[in-house]
Amino acid sequence: MKIALAQQNYHIGNFEYNRNKIIEGILWAKQKGADLVVFPELCICGYPPRDFLEFNDFINSCCSSIDEIKQFADTIGVIIGAPSRNKQKEGKELFNAAYLLYDKEIKAEIHKTLLPNYDIFDENRYFEPANEWNVISFKGKKLAITICEDIWNMGDNPLYRITPMEKLMLQQPDVMINVSASPFNVGQHIVRNSIVKAHTVKYKIPMLYCNAVGAQTEIIFDGGSLVYDGNGNKVFEMKYFEEDYQLFDISQFSKPETTTINSDTTYFYSTKEIAIKGNRLDYLTNEKNILEIRKALVLGIRDYFSKMKFSTALLGASGGIDSAVTQVLAAEALGKENVSAILMPSEFSTNHSVADATQLSINLECRHEIISITNIFDAILKELKPIFKDLPFDVTEENAQARIRGTILMAMANKFGSILLNTSNKSELATGYGTLYGDMAGGISVLGDLYKTQIYALAKLINSEKEIIPHSIITKAPSAELRHNQKDSDSLPEYSILDTILYEYIELRKSPNEIIAQGFENKLVSKILNLVNHNEYKRNQFCPILRVSNKSFGTGRRIPIVGKYLM
């Protein structure tokens, strides 16, 4: 049997676009002589549809798309993903389903069993789990079809009580097929390979795993669809961060052997396991991981703009490393002609910061404007003088500068129909080192899931072939430049220390005592964790963050604003 995998980029709720893309994939597979073509999870509507699933019209549109697509499933089998209605009165109204189309009919409907309800996933909110498991006979082969999470219940500590493949193996399938929408985070491709390999080693039949690609707001799907034979050997790994189509003849795969192959192989079932095994900073700033992050962020920016029908971006250029890296990524994603940098110096801005930001725009051939905020700042202070009287200069005046800049940036975004790119990093967001309605303004956060040490590593990668980011931006001490001689280190510890502690707490969920036991000072750990929890109210008002870690701020991390824990 020849099976094609169509790794595609969908748009949530854009039924005509998704439908036409799927039909194109079917026509490609027919032309290649495929017996069956497989598409990703919920490809009909895009993943994750979230509360769109509560609209009856949305589900009707899914059904209409299936009716149109099945007309192209005449001489070829087609596996697609879409929500389906639960015909029973009991349980939730929908299933997360995969459909087998053939002879212009729906030949089978498979329901997802394991509904993830952690991190960014919230499927248990909408879907009813499967209550029966059957292999599907097609052209002389018995197909064990599963949906994404259904194959992830492996390892020493299974999350669910049911393992769908154990149920399906009772019917002696010939091949496993998994339709998936598995998001990117650093190291996730290692975990996916481990999961798929472990299945083929255990069950001695091949697996074809079809993953989605493309960004949906903050969630980035990286593709990397996989094919393994029945001995745990990787047959093929499809492209990352772009669409791909491949055809496989499963009759050409090596025959299963009677003994377990590579029984000493280490399997990873979560990226948390990978992270725990190594040095934290080495893992965060590893060149291979940083290269993946760069590709993910470029895809995330490009899809956010194209799917929102925006074409131009602007950002506040401070002469610092965060805005510099953001500008480079935006120019790469959108084209240099579609990115504008706005320099807004004050009396506290150094000449080299203005010069560095200007030089970066020249290097990138991006438009840039210089708008001084000095007169606006002085006018505000003058108006507040009768109220503030002779109170000393403090964070109030610092934040006023940031909010002036935020106002200017949003005015320009409104006037020219652009999206403002936020340039805050994860280290700042974690500790509250940012101003609400000021430098925390923006339509999308590009670097909000990267620690400062990762941003330095990303800048180094960007400059690896030639100097794009001026060297002085990378080497100078980071500063918000909201008062004379200000440095980040005045308020925060060195980033190598800060980021390690933050990573232990945020990504690995370590307790204060566990972090202190690694050699960090008690008072420092207490201060940092207090800052993280105290500033949840700021992050709760922040824009969407492109997700590249296994625990990003936003929908995947739900912390009470008024909680007392560690405060």
Question: What's the gap between Cα 87 and its chain centre?
Answer: 34
Q: Of these residues, 41, 128, 149, 481, which one is catalytic?
A: 41
DSSP states along 17-41? HHHHHHHHHHHHHHHTT-SEEE--T
Among the residues of 476-565, which ranges form H helices?
495-506, 512-516, 522-534, 536-539
Q: Of these residues, 70, 112, 204, 452, which one is catalytic?
A: 112
- 179 φ, ψ (degrees, to nearest 5): -100, 130
Q: Of these residues, 148, 210, 366, 543, which one is catalytic?
A: 148
- Per the CB < 8 A criterion, the answer to whether 421 and 446 are in contact is yes
Catalytic residue check, 273: no
**Cα separation, 12 vs 102, whole angstroms:** 25
**C-alpha separations of 308 from 83, 181, 375, 419 in Å:** 24, 21, 36, 10
Interstrand relation of 136-138 and 444-445 (parallel, antiparallel or unpaired) = unpaired
- Per the CB < 8 A criterion, the answer to whether 499 and 284 are in contact is yes
Start-to-end CA distance of the chain, whole Å, equals 60
- Per the CB < 8 A criterion, the answer to whether 244 and 225 are in contact is yes
- 4 φ, ψ (degrees, to nearest 5): -105, 145
Q: Which residue has the tokens 């100097």?
A: 467
**Cα separation, 130 vs 331, whole angstroms:** 45
Which tokens belong to 228?
């393994």
Interstrand relation of 226-228 and 234-237 (parallel, antiparallel or unpaired) = antiparallel
| Count of Cβ atoms closer than 10 Å to residue 200 Cβ | 25
Catalytic residue check, 41: yes
Taking alpha carbons only, the member of 432, 429, 420 closest to residue 448 is 429
- Per the CB < 8 A criterion, the answer to whether 492 and 427 are in contact is yes
Which tokens belong to 546?
């492109």
Active centre residues (catalytic): 41, 112, 148
